[in-house]
Amino acid sequence: MGSNGNKDSISNDTIGKVITCKAAVAYGLGQPLVVEDIRVDPPQKMELRIRVLFTSICHTDLTYWRGQDEAQRIYPRIFGHEASG
C-alpha cells in the first residue's frame, strides 16, 4: 500500500527493504511452474525495482524451461522477464 493509502500509487515504503512478491518458479527441467512467494533483496548499484502486475512467458523462457542446452539447466529459475524486456 502506498504512503497515501492508495494501493495503486507509487510507494517509497520499500526503499532499502527486502520485499516479498509472487513468482513463477521452475524447479527442474520441464516441471510445472510453481507460483509462490519469494523474497527479493533491495536493488543494488545499477539496478532498480519495478512493480510488475502481469507478465508473459516468452520463447527464451520456454527454451530454458525445456533445457535444450545443458548450460540452460540451472534451477530453480524464475520466468516472466518480459515486463522488463
- Binding stretches for Zn ion (CB under 5 A): 58, 60
Shortest Cβ 65–Zn ion spacing (Å):
12
CB nearer to Zn ion: pick between 1 and 58: 58
CB-based burial label for 50 (10 Å; 0-12, 13-18, 19+) = exposed
CB nearer to Zn ion: pick between 3 and 68: 68
CB nearer to Zn ion: pick between 1 and 62: 62
